[in-house]
Structure 1
Amino acid sequence: MLIDTHLHVIDKSVLNYPWLADVEALDRDFSYESYEREARQGGIEATLHMEVDVEPSQIERETENVARLAARDNSLIVGAISSARPEEDGFAAFLERQIDNPLVKGFRRVLHVVPDEVSQKPLFRENLKRLSDTRFTFDLCVLPHQIPLAIELVDLAPDVRFVLDHCGVPDIRNDAFTPWKDHVDELARRDNVTAKISGVVAYAEPGSWTVDTLRPYVDHTVEKFGFDRLVWGSDWPVCTLGGGLHAWLAATQALFSGCTAQERAKLFRENAKRLWKLRSASDAA
């Protein structure tokens, strides 16, 4: 059984997603119900909802919508990673409100959709330090050439627990192993960073990738971070760009088939439980 640390629900009747206009294949509703059906078939027992870069004024409304889904009987959703704007003056007050919401486990600011200068602003960096000694993690969603900027953030806030999304978004389609490899090597030296093995099928050539296409990138991430600092995620529905949830689940099982039961348990469940203090259906059984 797996804990999925990276689910996106898209509900255009409730929220606005400005970026979807540029991604035609994702510019529609992707409901929790559709995900749940596939997830249960594939052995997923719990999930964290990952923010979907909604219109900034709707960030807390998105969390409220996730809370309604999490409150359903036997819901798979056990927590949420909220969107955040550390570059804005209102972040401190926003953070105080989230402290009182046990559903929120961490935050993300997608950095590859904004100028690099955003994460270099003093206010952004000071606000990021506010996460020190809290329960909150911070997801790093960057392109390979931006990983050095992520390293700067990690070094400025050594008491914050960071999560690198999607193995650092390698350009698998163009076989661009470097400079991604070198940057991942350097980031992995920071022991307050966990890597997320999530949805890399979206970065391979649609319809033609194989497990061996993905293996160099996944194996290198595993080698550098080690099984104590890895979590797994689907990145649904973005993974549908590379074949879908079942294809990614099958590839995952193949990629880690040679690992020990303990290693697989850490990646698939135990590290996520520890990092975010999660409970899943198997814990209650």
Structure 2
Amino acid sequence: MEFIDTHQHLILRDRLGYGWTAQIPALATGDFGLADYHALVAGRGITGTVFMETGVDDADYRAEARLVAGLIGAGGMLGQIASCRPGEAGFAGWMDEAAGLGTVGFRRILHVVPDDVSQTAAFRADLRAIGRAGLSFDMCFLARQLGLARDLARACDDQVLVLDHCGVPDIAGGAFDTWAAGITALADLPHVVCKLSGITAYCAPGTATVALLRQWVDHVLASFGPDRVLWGGDWPVVNLGSGLPGWIDMSRELLAGLSEAERFAVAQGTARRVYRLG
């Protein structure tokens, strides 16, 4: 099983600001660059990557995309999901520029802004512009916000939307039922797909195992179906859970019961379709 990693972050502190890492000791210092990533995945079946915007400081989000554009094509990087600010001045101009930067989709992290940001008419109008351009939008919501995600998806029903990190379930707290209901409701919308990523970081420290994750992953697969699930590594944030090599190994085990075609869909087929990777 060879994976396309659709959620590859980089932290390059000498060029960009990452204020969000300051309170996370494992990520607060040092760089996390391409050489580090490739050393971790060597021989582990990563056949390509898609860079995911890393939540840089607001002043730097365009600089990040411009910097990453120069890395695409090297070391298996197939494209980037660039940060954007739907509903804010200058959005259309940024979309036009980003089209020339190897952009295969956009994201705005929505759990770090007020809940009503994604509910405004201006935000949704700009989101639909992304869809008209044939690009996907990655939705980053917490489990408590899955209703907001569904409202947004219903308002933008003619484009592909990707729910990152399985909707950020509270695995450590065992809060399965409410999260599962939200996932089921979102999966009823055929233009929404789910990214299998990040979830080991939501386990209590040192507890992430295949046995613990099984019911959460199985619910995602049963709700969306493998053709609407894609895989991501979420490095280096995954270091807060299993680490990237551990997550790759767990993913193989968690997907082992699927058919060959279904495993291919999750590992890379859905990603190729959603992000137009060929």
Class of the TM-score when normalised by the shorter of the 2 chains: over 0.9
In the alignment, the residues of structure 1 paired with residue 130 and residue 277 of structure 2 have an alpha-carbon distance, to the nearest angstrom, of 19
Code of the residue aligned with 2:69 in structure 1: it is A
Count of aligned pairs: 276
CA contact (8 A) 1:36 1:76 kept: no
Code of the residue aligned with 1:48 in structure 2: it is V
In the alignment, the residues of structure 2 paired with residue 132 and residue 250 of structure 1 have an alpha-carbon distance, to the nearest angstrom, of 34
In the alignment, the residues of structure 2 paired with residue 128 and residue 21 of structure 1 have an alpha-carbon distance, to the nearest angstrom, of 30
CA contact (8 A) 2:255 2:263 kept: yes
Give the Å deviation of 1:260.
1.0
Code of the residue aligned with 1:77 in structure 2: it is M
2:187 is aligned with 1:188? yes
Code of the residue aligned with 1:114 in structure 2: it is V
Code of the residue aligned with 2:203 in structure 1: it is A
CA contact (8 A) 1:105 1:135 kept: no
Partner of 2:34: 32
- For residues 96-123 of structure 1, give each alpha carbon's deviation from its aligned partner in whole angstroms, at most 9, with x where no partner exists: 222333x101111111111102112221
Partner of 2:62: 60
- For residues 163-220 of structure 1, give each alpha carbon's deviation from its aligned partner in whole angstroms, at most 9, with x where no partner exists: 0011111000111102101111100000001111112111112212221100111000
* 1:64–1:71 distance in 2 versus 1, CA, 3 Å: farther
CA contact (8 A) 1:51 1:83 kept: yes
Partner of 1:83: 83
In the alignment, the residues of structure 2 paired with residue 157 and residue 237 of structure 1 have an alpha-carbon distance, to the nearest angstrom, of 31
In the alignment, the residues of structure 2 paired with residue 262 and residue 36 of structure 1 have an alpha-carbon distance, to the nearest angstrom, of 27
Give the Å deviation of 1:162.
0.3
CA contact (8 A) 2:208 2:242 kept: no
CA contact (8 A) 1:230 1:266 kept: yes
Q: Which runs of 5 or more structure 2 residues have no equivalent in the other structure?
A: none
Partner of 1:95: 95
In the alignment, the residues of structure 1 paired with residue 134 and residue 128 of structure 2 have an alpha-carbon distance, to the nearest angstrom, of 13
- For residues 193-252 of structure 1, give each alpha carbon's deviation from its aligned partner in whole angstroms, at most 9, with x where no partner exists: 111111211111221222110011100000000011110001011111112011101111
* 1:69–1:99 distance in 2 versus 1, CA, 3 Å: closer
CA contact (8 A) 2:10 2:32 kept: yes
Pairwise mapping of residues 144-155 of structure 1 onto structure 2 (< 5 A)?
Answer: 144-155=143-154
CA contact (8 A) 2:82 2:98 kept: no
CA contact (8 A) 1:135 1:276 kept: no
4+ aligned runs moved over 6 Å, structure 1 = none
Code of the residue aligned with 1:39 in structure 2: it is V
Partner of 2:18: 17
Give the Å deviation of 1:71.
4.3
TM-score in terms of structure 2 length:
0.96
Pairwise mapping of residues 122-137 of structure 1 onto structure 2 (< 5 A)?
Answer: 122-137=121-136
TM-score in terms of structure 1 length:
0.93
CA contact (8 A) 1:230 1:267 kept: yes
Give the Å deviation of 1:69.
2.1
In the alignment, the residues of structure 2 paired with residue 27 and residue 208 of structure 1 have an alpha-carbon distance, to the nearest angstrom, of 23
CA contact (8 A) 1:4 1:44 kept: yes
Partner of 2:252: 253
CA contact (8 A) 1:15 1:54 kept: yes
**SS of alignment partner, residue 26 of structure 2:** helix
In the alignment, the residues of structure 2 paired with residue 209 and residue 249 of structure 1 have an alpha-carbon distance, to the nearest angstrom, of 13
Greater CA drift, 44-53 or 127-136? 127-136
In the alignment, the residues of structure 2 paired with residue 67 and residue 97 of structure 1 have an alpha-carbon distance, to the nearest angstrom, of 11
Partner of 2:49: 47
Partner of 2:232: 233
CA contact (8 A) 1:5 1:272 kept: yes
Partner of 1:175: 174
2:6 is aligned with 1:5? yes
- For residues 138-183 of structure 1, give each alpha carbon's deviation from its aligned partner in whole angstroms, at most 9, with x where no partner exists: 1111111101111111111111210001111100011110210111
In the alignment, the residues of structure 1 paired with residue 66 and residue 95 of structure 2 have an alpha-carbon distance, to the nearest angstrom, of 15
In the alignment, the residues of structure 1 paired with residue 44 and residue 267 of structure 2 have an alpha-carbon distance, to the nearest angstrom, of 13
In the alignment, the residues of structure 2 paired with residue 57 and residue 152 of structure 1 have an alpha-carbon distance, to the nearest angstrom, of 29
**SS of alignment partner, residue 78 of structure 2:** strand
Alignment root-mean-square deviation, CA: 1.2
